[in-house]
Amino acid sequence: MSRVSSQETLETVAGSLIDRSGTGAEPDAAQQVLRRVFGYDSFRGLQHEIVTQVIEGGDALVLMPTGGGKSLCYQIPALVRSGVGVVISPLIALMQDQVDALNALGVRAGFLNSTQFPDERRTMEQQFVVGELDVLYLAPERLRLESTLQLLDKATVSVFAIDEAHCVSQWGHDFRPDYLALSVLHERWPDVPRIALTATATEATRREIAERLDLTGARHFVAGFDRPNIQYRIEPKNRADQQLLSFISSEHAGDAGIVYCLSRNSVEKTAEFLTRNGIEAVPYHAGLDARTRAANQSRFLREDGLVVVATIAFGMGIDKPDVRFVAHLDLPKSVEGYYQETGRAGRDGQPSTAWMVYGLNDVVQQRKMIDSSEGDAAHRRQLQLHLDAMLALCETVQCRRTQLLAYFGQSGEPCGNCDTCLTPPESWDGTVAAQKVLSTVLRLKRERGQSFGAGHIVDILVGKSNPKVLQHKHNELKVFGVGAELRDVEWRGAVRQLLAQGLLAVHGDYGVLVLTEASEEVLFKGRQVALRREPERVKPAKAPRAKTSRPAVDLAPGDSGLFERLRAWRGATAKEQGVPAYVVFHDATLREIAARRPTSLAQLGEISGIGENKLAKYGEGVLETVAGEGDSGESGGSAASGDVGSGRSRGGSNTRFESGRVESGQAGGADAGAARAEAGQAGSGGDVSSRAGAGRAGSGGGEGSRAGSGSDVSGRAEAGRAETGRAGSGHAAAGRAGGGRAEADRLGSGRAEGGRGEGAGTEDPAGSARVGSGRAGAGVETRRAEAGRGGSGRAENGGAGSRGRGAGRAQVSREVVAEASGWDQEPPPDWDFEPPPDDAY
């Protein structure tokens, strides 16, 4: 576990702007921190009001759309007020990335959750107590433990931030029971301000959040729900897989995107289908083992152009800014869920697409799920209301955006950027058609005592004499063939819309159609029925298999090349440091750099999104790239400000391992002791931080030297002690290190006494981690790598194995057996709810 370097504290970043002696601060402290730490000149929307409210000690309930900047609303108060900001988050699988992003800004951040070993948690707790943290992330389950409450009593808490606050709503789409206990924060620490934040809540949900979290006296801030950069489109379902392939290939080739499916089986099949057709895709659902889920999530965050196919288990808290599309192959259960999921597209403000296919079977399936759901009648009524609102959004002939905003209590004008605005649908008087459908259902029940599903009803209406119709003698019914004026697809559309309008219902396990109370009004009381005309089905065009790259948006033609070079530099830098690319810089920042072409650090520092810490860390690398001098494939920029080393710690920055011994600054992403051995051999020492192009790296660990050819003895090795300074990429491509094996950027460990190691690398079943192991003398140290890269082994003098990185975790364990029984338990490793009847349909 790591200890945070005092050189990277916010005090050194913000200087005298922060008054750490009390809860107050200079009037402009928030503005100054925004500029100097986060690199922005001004707050957006309601941010400044919210930040001021919390800094002054007031409570706040914040509703702000995804990408609106919610995190700044609690991060800045945590930095300005005295003490540590405690963030309650349900997303323990993403805490490492959240911490990495803050560390990159120079903010001392860490987390406590069940993924850590006891010694890691103890180190983090000590840092909290002695004031070496600015922000601490906790899972809500941890607050059930008295030990956690006692820990929070030992230090000054500056603010409690409750993220994803809609999880407290029992009627909501993401209900999490442990959120109900968070009122303890106000009861136990009444003087600490609290801020609850969510991107999705109706007026009723907001009231429920306020009541359950004891925030009825808090000031409410409701930002606009509109995401004007997202284009909303809903199409009739017709071979959904081919429609999806055509959509991605023709509009979003090479883009990162999320595809949502209802069941695990659909997820697996869709991911396989896309991959087979030239679109790189990975699955994500709760049925996968934790290691595979973590590896796939890590790839999505760190790679460009990857598509993840998922159940609703995926997505909350994903901060990837350049997701260009979100696609739904199945109908979401509620407008809240739809808004939350589509909101993961276009966080960077660039044009993005929310695309969905929807058909009759979706309606039937959702109705059946509600009828078979657990809970009382009130619960099922709530589910039905949620579904009715979702169906109304799908079937509207008005602007989808205005309908979406109206659901959340806000008004809007037709947007010109949704399918119903761009291609207005045609509506028609479907009263007679509705009467024919309802009459068929009624006659089957009255005359034959039978009920059938939609497909058979349509066959009767169009007069199909198929075996099933003839078997039941339904060709003798008076309504047989009365609907010949419409095609099958049009009748199915009519049935779907009647279900959506509540004029028909689904009953039983077989999904048969039955009449409702409203049906009588259409059949006998003259109620008019307006239907949306079904568009002509177009056969999806055969999609090209080639993967193309989209040009940068809002850039002059002459700037696009530099933008791509900057992206390549950023990708290499992020890979070296083991963090997602957006942690280095967002695309918006790179676009501004490409347009303004700064030639000095002072000019670079004026660009939005570049604070002082990032300027010091990455400035030289950016300027070299702009000047055309940087090597976009290898340059990692300047690794100043202590951001160096041979591994990444979990839960904070700056790893220190005592076992003979390895010391590092904040992890630069090295897999194998910060070494890159491309075609050579690393000698007897345990840690090599040099680059050898085609030579031999000598005895021991180095301090960041580079060699083009020949041999290079880089640094010193003293009885197994290796000290790493600034590190380059830290990969071992095809060499030997300490006698162990290094393959495909994964390094094992072997004997660390100069002799031949006996270790051998093996690859785990998920293909997401390569673990080496070996034998040597006395000391023993074990490392575990999950969904990352790591080593485990035995080395003379307790030599350390390699450090894991990626989305995974690599922890040091010396007393695992002795202390495992003392671990506290939390829910599944990365909270992922899914629809209960998962593969039933």
Look up the CATH number of domain 230-414: 3.40.50.300
Q: Report pLDDT digits (tens) over 208-256.
A: 888 888 888 899 999 888 999 999 999 989 899 999 999 999 999 999 9
Q: For residues 497 and 489, give the distance between their C-alpha atoms in angstroms, rounded to a whole number.
A: 12
CATH superfamily of 6-222: P-loop containing nucleotide triphosphate hydrolases (3.40.50.300)
Does 679 score more than 70 pLDDT?
no
Highest mean pLDDT among 128-137, 143-152, 715-724: 128-137
Say what the pTM is.
0.63
Kindly state the greatest CA–CA separation across the chain. 97
- In the three-class reduction of DSSP (H, G, I as helix; E, B as strand; rest coil), residue 487 is classed as coil
Fold of 557-627: DNA polymerase; domain 1 (1.10.150)
Q: For residues 673 and 774, give the distance between their C-alpha atoms in angstroms, rounded to a whole number.
A: 16
Does 6 score more than 50 pLDDT?
no
DSSP states along 494-534 = HHHHHHHTTSEEEETTTTEEEE-HHHHHHHHS----EEEPP
The sheet with strand 722-723 has its strands ordered as: 656-657, 662-663, 722-723
CB atoms within 10 A of CB 375: 11
Give residue 380's pLDDT. 82
User: Phi, psi (5° rounding) for residue 586?
Assistant: -75, 160
| pLDDT range class, residue 656, cuts 50, 70, 90 | very low
Query: Running DSSP on this structure, what letter comes out for residue 226?
Result: -
Please identify which residue in the block is written with the tokens 């700056």: 654
Q: What is the dihedral of CA 652, 658, 660, 662, to 10 degrees?
A: 20
Give residue 834's pLDDT. 32
Two tokens at 182? 């968070």
| For the chain, domain boundaries | 6-222, 230-414, 427-532, 557-627, 656-807
| Rounded mean pLDDT, 731-759 | 33
Give residue 437's pLDDT. 94
Does 284 score more than 90 pLDDT?
yes
Strand segments, DSSP code E, in 740-824 are 740-743, 746-747, 760-763, 770-773, 780-786, 790-791, 793-794, 809-813
DSSP states along 551-563 = PPTT--GGGHHHH
Q: Which of 534, 496, 491, 538 is nearest to 242 (CA)?
A: 538
Radius of gyration of the chain (CA): 29
Does 66 score more than 90 pLDDT?
no
Give residue 442's pLDDT. 93
Q: What is the 3-state secondary structure (H, E, C) of 149-190?
A: HHHHHCCCEEEEEECCHHHHCCCCCCCCHHHHHHHHHHHHCC
Q: Report pLDDT digits (tens) over 390-422.
A: 988 998 888 999 999 988 888 889 999 999 999
Look up the CATH number of domain 427-532: 1.10.10.10
Q: Report pLDDT digits (tens) over 419-478.
A: 999 999 888 899 999 999 999 999 999 999 999 988 899 999 999 999 999 999 999 999
784 CA to centre of own chain: 24
Give residue 537's pLDDT. 52
Q: How far is CA 611 from CA 10, 105, 400, 563, 820, in A?
A: 12, 7, 39, 20, 41
Domains 6-222 and 230-414 share a fold: yes
Q: Report pLDDT digits (tens) over 13-38.
A: 333 233 333 444 444 899 999 999 99
Two tokens at 363? 């309606």
Give residue 62's pLDDT. 93
Query: Running DSSP on this structure, what letter comes out for residue 238?
Result: S
Q: For residues 445 and 82, give the distance between their C-alpha atoms in angstroms, rounded to a whole number.
A: 72
Does 109 score more than 90 pLDDT?
yes
| Rounded mean pLDDT, 101-129 | 91
Tell me which amino acid residue 185 is.
L
Q: Which of 51, 69, 68 is nearest to 60 (CA)?
A: 51
- In the three-class reduction of DSSP (H, G, I as helix; E, B as strand; rest coil), residue 196 is classed as strand
Does 104 score more than 50 pLDDT?
yes
Give residue 129's pLDDT. 95
Does 637 score more than 90 pLDDT?
no
State how beta strands 323-328 and 352-358 pair: parallel
Mean pLDDT of the residues in the chain: 73
User: Phi, psi (5° rounding) for residue 732?
Assistant: -110, 110
Does 259 score more than 90 pLDDT?
yes
Q: For residues 263 and 840, give the distance between their C-alpha atoms in angstroms, rounded to a whole number.
A: 8
Contact 104, 112 (CB under 8 A): no
| pLDDT range class, residue 353, cuts 50, 70, 90 | very high
